[in-house]
């Protein structure tokens, strides 16, 4: 195996030494020695020697309660620091593979290939500008790390970059390393476990912080870099208002199953976003005011601003308006009346900045215009005054309940019992009626009042900061028409996009016919202007049918939706509800996009980014710039250099795989009477509720089976014990069935020539590489009653089987044979994650066996093991 990059190894060593010194100074040499002894024994136990593992277990079982927290904290913090070093090293100009990694050259290489394909000049630039990527930041509760610590980790990253930038003998090097040590000391003495759950507003503020600290800088830098690549190929620079990528958010708008997101919360988040946008632009204006001191200007500009320093005069007026906007937003957050006139239209923000730019260019000062002023104009185009547009999401039955109460009040009948045809007839009649729908003297139920309070907010000027209204569990055209009616009745005068979300396997299979019915409704064609966004759910479909059947259903749904949209004359934009793990549709973005059906991203791409993946992919400006380019490059390539469509034999094989896969998955998850009990006994699923991850409850409702559990804790729990079941269960039976039928050659051909199947198999391989049957077996031995343990043995056997089958398809002798970087990454982490797993199992046992109150040390240590394992796995839910 290729050696780990020497510089990366040096960073990990330096951070580890600093952490060790911190632990020694805080708790003494004995505690540090204890942690180091466990680490070394864990490394020896990794050889597979049972005796060495027994020695490790003896060490862990011998820990006194007062030693538990220091030991697990030590391992947890090292894993966080190792992640940090890897992340920062990936953008360091001093790494060994700089310039060799495909992500570094992806965009310029694509531009070269497009030019060779005959797409050049203005045509090339216009296609890049129209890439139409929208990333939706979500608050799904998988970000284990506290915001306080994230800020310290970000500062550490900057210090590591400064350390890279200096030569070994530079006089500032010692000072930087001293600051690194001090920061690690601060981290060690900060509690890594949240004491209270973050509110929905807290989550939104965290999202704003990602923009403030990273994306605000990444966007203009990315566009500068792309301009250079375009102009080197003879194409003009991107227009000033070009926005190949935008951002939206679910934080404060996603109320589906989250009672903590109310109309009041949504309104507050919308005003807070305006406050933050105004504040960020004010910082830019202050800087530009000190920079644009020149007197030269066009006659038109100087006539409008007759000062000796006309640019400063122009910016002064904009500064005043932004200050008013910030004060207005704060007053509304505080529930106060503000008479100041805010900026509400993006054009009001852009106009004075554009005037400055045009005057500078007209005066021969283009190099000045193309400096920080251009960056601000780029930010205006991307973020606007809303900063990040908010999606509102609500479950379809909540809208039906509103209409049912209205119909009951007027004596019109039982809306819920009407046929789909009668519902549509009623809704279309009301949509064209001049009579108010909502009664003036009426006392709706609390739930109905809450839905209407939300739609009324969308009718306010602040409601323009909402990008769309998503309906989960949408099944019929009436679900979409009912939302359109409620928006209209509440006073929403702009045509807010209404987006159905298809989540379960049956919903995905019926998505095409259902949308075809809707698109044939004349009123809706006029309302939508023949433009439609449809959301494809990944996590719930995977939990419902297994990952294999779900990915094929998602693929086919995209195909049929694209075909029906073409037939109906609709411009379709698919919205992918992906997560950070394979079980939720996660994986490398570039390959995932190219694996979509040909033609399915013609209308652009909208995709969710959730939890800890937001921090990993967009937490630092340089990393954000790289990942944004990956998205843009992938969409351009998928549209302009599309892959070949799969042949019939491959499609038939995939359908057979999915049919066997879903049957096998459901036979275990739904039909095995011991499965749910085993899941709750073997994993920390029940204890996860104590980890204050996010504002959303872990369950849709109390009791019940896995159908009541959200997809994220479902996957999180299996990841904690390293069985990784949601990603592979069902695939074992499906692949074995095909191979027994003599189709191994076909599977290998599909892997080599079909991007969709190759991406699926590679993601499956990655998950299997993180699985560990010995660790999963230890949880079982300690936590599961003997009569249910045969089920665990079967699951671990099936895990081994699917590993063998994947290796057969890939023609490899070991997992990750061609992905040594991930192999190395996991090997570095194993001596730290293994003790956390074994300790977690022991702590779960102690907690569940204790008839008395569990000690605070055991309780906290258990929480830290969850955070540490999540850090070690790098993807949680």
Domain residue ranges in the chain: 28-62+647-873, 262-387, 403-589+601-616
**Residues 6 or more apart in contact with residue 794 via CB below 8 angstroms:** none
* Residue 24 pLDDT: 97
Alpha-carbon gap, residue 789 to 86, rounded angstroms: 38
* Residue 565 pLDDT: 97
Comparing CA positions, the residue from 80, 200, 55, 222 lying closest to residue 625 is 222
Helix (H, G, I), strand (E, B) or coil at 125: helix
**Residues 6 or more apart in contact with residue 497 via CB below 8 angstroms:** 467, 468, 469, 528, 531, 532, 533
Domains 262-387 and 403-589+601-616 share a fold: no
In tens, the pLDDT along 185-222 reads 999 999 887 777 788 999 999 899 999 999 999 999 99
SS percent in the chain: helix, strand, coil, step 5: 65, 5, 25
Query: 262-387: what fold?
Result: de novo design (two linked rop proteins) (1.20.1440)
Comparing CA positions, the residue from 427, 424, 452 lying closest to residue 514 is 424
Q: What are phi and psi of 490, to 5 degrees?
A: -90, -5
* Alpha-carbon 179 to chain mean position: 32
Comparing CA positions, the residue from 463, 569, 575 lying closest to residue 138 is 575
Q: Six-digit token pair at 138?
A: 């979500």
Q: What are phi and psi of 124, to 5 degrees?
A: -65, -50
* Residue 1 pLDDT: 53
Q: Six-digit token pair at 175?
A: 């000072």
* Residue 127 pLDDT: 97
Q: What are the start-end ranges of the H helices in 370-521?
A: 374-383, 396-410, 420-431, 446-459, 477-489, 505-519
Please report the beta strands in 139-259, taking only residues with DSSP state E, as ranges in sequence order: 245-249
First vs last C-alpha separation in the chain: 30
* Helix 216-232 vs helix 102-116: crossing angle, to nearest 10: 40
Comparing CA positions, the residue from 495, 632, 638 lying closest to residue 562 is 638
Could you say which residues of the chain have pLDDT below 70? 1-3, 94-102, 140-145, 167-168, 579-587, 611, 691-712, 851, 853-854, 874-877
Catalytic residues: 140, 543
Alpha-carbon gap, residue 441 to 406, rounded angstroms: 11
In contact, 828 and 4? CB cutoff 8 Å: yes
Residue 697 is classified by DSSP as: -
As assigned by CATH, the class of the 403-589+601-616 domain is: alpha beta
Largest CA distance in the chain: 89
Report the DSSP pairing between strands 466-472 and 605-610: unpaired
In tens, the pLDDT along 161-177 reads 899 888 667 778 889 99
Kindly report the CA angle at 520 between 515 and 525, in degrees rounded to 5?
95
Q: Which letter, b or e, does each residue of 506-517 get, where b requires 16 or more Cβ atoms within 10 Å of its Cβ?
A: ebbebbbebbbb
Distances (CA, A) of 678 to 539, 629, 783, 788: 22, 44, 9, 7
Helix (H, G, I), strand (E, B) or coil at 304: helix
């Amino acid at each position: 195996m290729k050696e780990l990059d020497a510089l990366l190894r040096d960073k990990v060593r330096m951070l580890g030494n600093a952490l060790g010194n911190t632990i020694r100074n805080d708790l003494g040499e004995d505690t540090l020695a204890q942690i180091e002894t466990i680490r070394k024994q864990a490394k020896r136990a990794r050889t597979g020697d049972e005796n060495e593992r027994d020695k490790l277990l003896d060490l862990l079982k011998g820990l006194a309660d007062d030693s538990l927290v220091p030991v697990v904290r030590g391992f947890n913090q090292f894993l966080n620091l190792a992640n940090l070093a890897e992340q920062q090293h990936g953008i360091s100009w001093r790494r060994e593979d700089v310039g060799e990694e495909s992500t570094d050259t992806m965009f310029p290489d694509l531009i070269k290939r497009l030019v060779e394909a005959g797409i050049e000049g203005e045509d090339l630039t216009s296609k890049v500008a129209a890439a139409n990527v929208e990333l939706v930041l979500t608050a799904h509760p998988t970000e284990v790390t506290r915001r306080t610590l994230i800020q310290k980790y970000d500062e550490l990253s900057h210090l590591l970059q400064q350390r890279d930038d200096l030569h070994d003998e530079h006089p500032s090097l010692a000072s930087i390393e001293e600051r690194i040590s001090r920061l690690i000391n601060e981290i060690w003495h900060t509690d890594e476990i949240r004491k209270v759950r973050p509110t929905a507003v807290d989550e939104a503020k965290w999202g704003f912080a990602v923009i403030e600290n990273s994306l605000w800088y990444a966007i203009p830098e990315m566009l500068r870099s792309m301009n250079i690549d375009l102009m080197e190929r003879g194409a003009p620079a991107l227009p000033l208002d070009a926005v190949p990528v935008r951002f939206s958010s679910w934080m404060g708008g996603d109320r589906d199953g989250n009672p903590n997101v109310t109309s009041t919360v949504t309104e507050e988040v919308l005003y807070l976003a305006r406050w933050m946008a105004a504040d960020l632009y004010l910082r830019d204006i202050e800087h530009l005011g000190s920079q644009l001191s020149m007197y030269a200007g066009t006659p038109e500009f100087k006539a409008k601003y007759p000062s000796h320093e006309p640019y400063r005069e122009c910016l002064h007026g904009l500064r005043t308006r932004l200050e008013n906007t910030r004060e207005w937003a704060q007053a509304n957050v505080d529930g106060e009346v503000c008479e100041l006139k805010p900026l509400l239209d993006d054009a009001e923000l852009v106009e004075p900045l554009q005037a400055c730019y045009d005057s500078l260019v007209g005066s021969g000062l283009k190099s000045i215009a193309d400096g920080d002023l251009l960056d601000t104009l780029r930010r205006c185009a991307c973020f606007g005054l809303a900063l990040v547009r908010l999606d509102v999401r609500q479950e379809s039955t909540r809208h039906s309940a509103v209409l049912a109460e209205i119909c009951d009040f007027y004596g019109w009948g039982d809306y819920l019992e009407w046929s789909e045809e009668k519902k549509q007839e009623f809704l279309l009649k009301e949509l064209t009626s001049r009579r108010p729908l909502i009664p003036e003297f009426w006392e709706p139920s609390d739930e109905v009042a809450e839905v209407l309070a939300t739609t009324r907010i969308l009718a306010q000027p602040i409601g323009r900061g909402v990008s769309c209204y998503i309906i989960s569990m949408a099944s019929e055209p009436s679900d979409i028409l009912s939302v359109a009616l409620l928006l209209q009745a509440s006073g929403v005068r702009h045509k807010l996009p209404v987006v159905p979300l298809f989540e379960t396997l049956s919903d995905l299979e019926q998505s095409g016919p259902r949308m075809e019915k809707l698109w044939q409704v004349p009123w809706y064609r006029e309302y939508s202007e023949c433009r439609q966004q449809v959301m494809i759910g990944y996590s719930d479909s995977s939990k419902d049918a297994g990952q294999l059947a779900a990915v094929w259903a998602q693929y086919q749904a995209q195909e049929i939706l694209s075909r029906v949209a073409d037939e109906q004359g609709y411009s379709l934009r698919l919205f992918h509800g992906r997560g950070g793990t394979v079980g939720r549709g996660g994986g490398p973005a570039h390959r995932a996009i190219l694996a979509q059906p040909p033609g399915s991203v013609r209308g652009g791409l909208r995709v969710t980014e959730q939890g800890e993946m937001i921090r990993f992919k967009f937490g630092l400006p340089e990393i954000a710039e790289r990942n944004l380019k990956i998205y843009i490059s992938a969409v351009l390539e998928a549209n302009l250099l599309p892959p070949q469509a799969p042949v019939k034999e491959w499609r038939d094989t995939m359908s057979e795989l999915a049919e066997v896969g879903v049957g096998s998955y459901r036979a275990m998850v739904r039909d095995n009477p011991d499965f749910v009990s085993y899941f709750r006994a073997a994993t920390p699923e029940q204890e996860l509720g104590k980890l204050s991850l996010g504002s959303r409850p872990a369950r849709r409702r109390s009791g019940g089976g896995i159908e009541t559990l959200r997809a994220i804790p479902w996957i999180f729990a299996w990841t904690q014990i390293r069985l990784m079941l949601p990603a592979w269960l069902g695939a074992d039976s499906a692949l074995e069935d095909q191979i027994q039928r003599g189709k191994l050659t076909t599977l290998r051909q599909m892997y080599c020539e079909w991007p969709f199947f190759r991406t699926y198999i590679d993601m499956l391989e990655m998950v299997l590489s993180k699985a560990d049957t010995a660790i999963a077996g230890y949880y079982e031995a300690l936590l599961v009653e003997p009569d249910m343990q045969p089920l665990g043995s079967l699951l671990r056997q099936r895990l081994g089987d699917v590993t063998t089958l994947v290796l057969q398809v890939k023609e490899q002798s070991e997992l990750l044979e061609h992905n040594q970087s991930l192999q190395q990454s996991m090997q570095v982490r194993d001596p730290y994650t293994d003790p956390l797993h074994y300790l977690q199992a022991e702590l779960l046992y102690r907690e569940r066996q204790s008839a008395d109150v569990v000690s605070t040390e055991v309780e906290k240590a258990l929480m830290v093991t969850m955070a540490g394992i999540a850090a070690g796995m790098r993807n949680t839910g």
